[in-house]
């Protein structure tokens, strides 16, 4: 019984060590855990998949900083791969000052894989401060918030921006964010300007977006590392990408850490219940 009581007193250093091992092992030793795409990942994937090639571009807002990069960067890369493979044009911008380098890096890495050309297949607008104001400005005209792209080229000089004025000319606004900024896109781009909005968020903030999903204000949702791995799986299944599945590898580590966490909670509760039972006896 003393052993069971001691279950409440495991030194946190051992917990840290086990968590570290639970993260490292699945990343080093490949595991083949199944990926079953969720309903909202499939909805977003299908929505993008049904956009005709070379039609109006989709707008991707990569509003996150490096702290959320492990979850959100694979998501952005998977979506870009899907679009380039299908010939869907994209406009990428960011409302987070740290997001510019991250999204530009993703574009520069993936564009050569598909032979995508800046200005023809994609446009990178960079960062602009004043999030909600920028969202409202785009509702009037892209050029109001972004007269030029990130490299200083006027938007009117980019062939793919011909005839693209505001939200009415983009079939989807996809907000990939690690903060509540997605709610801004819902409030302004969807509610005020009636744009279709999709989202990708960190796992901890997923629950915040369920009300918007149920109300039809979001066309789909990518839920953290899980959503990114599901998108990678769908890309691979449809032959759109042969890139290494970064999120799928990460999801293996997340799964093992979840199991470890549950094990610790069970142990802690066994110890707590035994201690309480013993105390009530006394």
Partner 1 sequence: MKRQIPLIIVLTLGIFFFIQFFVPSQVSTNIYQITLQWTIVISAFAIVLAVGSLFNHHMLKIKRRKPHWWNSIVTLAALVVMALLGILGRWRGLEKLGDLYHTLFLYVQAPMDSAMFAILAFYMASAAYRAFRARSQEAALLLISGFIVMLGVIPFGSMIWSRIPDIAEWILMVPNMAAKRGILFGVGLGMTATSLKIILGIERSWLGGGGK
* Chain contacts with partner 1 (rule: CB under 8 A): 10, 12, 15-16, 19-20, 23, 33-36, 38-39, 65-70, 97-98, 101-102, 105, 128-130, 133-134, 136-137, 140-141, 144-145, 152, 203, 206-208, 210-211, 214, 223, 226, 251, 254-255, 257-262, 264-265, 267-269, 272-273
Identify which of residues 64 and 122 has a Cβ nearer to partner 1 in the complex.
64
Identify which of residues 223 and 235 has a Cβ nearer to partner 1 in the complex.
223
Identify which of residues 12 and 282 has a Cβ nearer to partner 1 in the complex.
12
User: CB neighbours of 192 closer than 8 A, spacing ≥ 6?
Assistant: 136, 139
Q: How far is the CB of 53 from partner 1 (least distance, A)?
A: 31
SS3 labels along the chain: CHHHHHHHHCCHHHHHHHHHHHHHHHHHCCCCCCCCCCHHHHHHHHHHHCCCCCCCCEEEEEECCHHHHHHHHHHHHHHHHHHHHHCCCEEEEECCCCHHHHHHHHHHHHHHHHCCCECCCEEEEEECCCHHHHHHHHHHCHHHHCCECCCCCEHHHCHHHCCCCCHHHCCCEEEEECCCHHHHHHHHHHHHCCCCEEEEECHHHHHHHHHHHHCCCCCCEEEHHHHHHHHHHHHHHCCCCCCCCHHHHHHHHHHHHHHHHHHHHHHHHHHHHHHHHHHHHC
Q: Tokens 């991250």 label which residue? A: 102
Identify which of residues 87 and 275 has a Cβ nearer to partner 1 in the complex.
275
Query: Which of 250, 261, 207, 234 lies closest to 70, judged by CA?
Result: 250
Q: How far is the CB of 253 from partner 1 (least distance, A)?
A: 10
Identify which of residues 117 and 261 has a Cβ nearer to partner 1 in the complex.
261
Q: How far is the CB of 69 from partner 1 (least distance, A)?
A: 6
Q: How far is the CB of 190 from partner 1 (least distance, A)?
A: 15
Identify which of residues 49 and 148 has a Cβ nearer to partner 1 in the complex.
148
Identify which of residues 160 and 254 has a Cβ nearer to partner 1 in the complex.
254
Q: How far is the CB of 145 from partner 1 (least distance, A)?
A: 6
Q: How far is the CB of 50 from partner 1 (least distance, A)?
A: 24
Q: How far is the CB of 66 from partner 1 (least distance, A)?
A: 4
């Amino acid at each position: 019984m003393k052993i069971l009581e001691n279950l409440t007193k495991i030194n946190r250093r051992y917990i840290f060590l086990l968590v570290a091992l639970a993260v490292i092992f699945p990343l080093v030793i490949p595991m083949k855990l199944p990926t079953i795409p969720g309903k909202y990942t499939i909805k977003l994937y299908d929505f993008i998949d049904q956009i005709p090639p070379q039609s109006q571009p989709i707008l991707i807002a990569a509003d996150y900083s490096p702290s959320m990069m492990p979850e959100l960067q694979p998501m952005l890369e998977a979506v870009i791969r899907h679009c380039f493979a299908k010939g869907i044009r994209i406009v990428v911008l960011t409302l987070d000052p740290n997001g510019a380098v991250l999204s530009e890096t993703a574009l520069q890495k993936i564009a050569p894989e598909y032979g995508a050309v800046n200005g023809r297949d994609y446009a990178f607008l960079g960062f602009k401060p004043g999030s909600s104001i920028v969202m409202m400005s785009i509702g009037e005209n892209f050029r109001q918030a972004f007269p030029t792209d990130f490299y200083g080229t006027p938007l009117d000089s980019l062939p793919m921006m011909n005839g693209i004025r505001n939200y009415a000319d983009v079939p989807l606004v996809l907000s990939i964010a690690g903060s509540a900024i997605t709610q801004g896109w819902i409030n302004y781009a969807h509610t005020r300007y009636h744009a279709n909005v999709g989202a990708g968020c960190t796992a901890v903030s997923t629950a915040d977006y369920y009300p918007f999903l149920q109300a039809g204000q979001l066309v789909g949702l990518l839920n953290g590392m899980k959503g990114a791995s599901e998108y990678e799986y769908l890309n691979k299944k449809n032959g759109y990408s042969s890139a290494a599945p970064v999120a799928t590898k990460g999801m293996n580590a997340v799964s093992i850490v979840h199991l470890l966490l549950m094990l610790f909670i069970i142990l802690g509760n066994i110890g707590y219940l035994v201690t309480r039972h013993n105390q009530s006896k006394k």
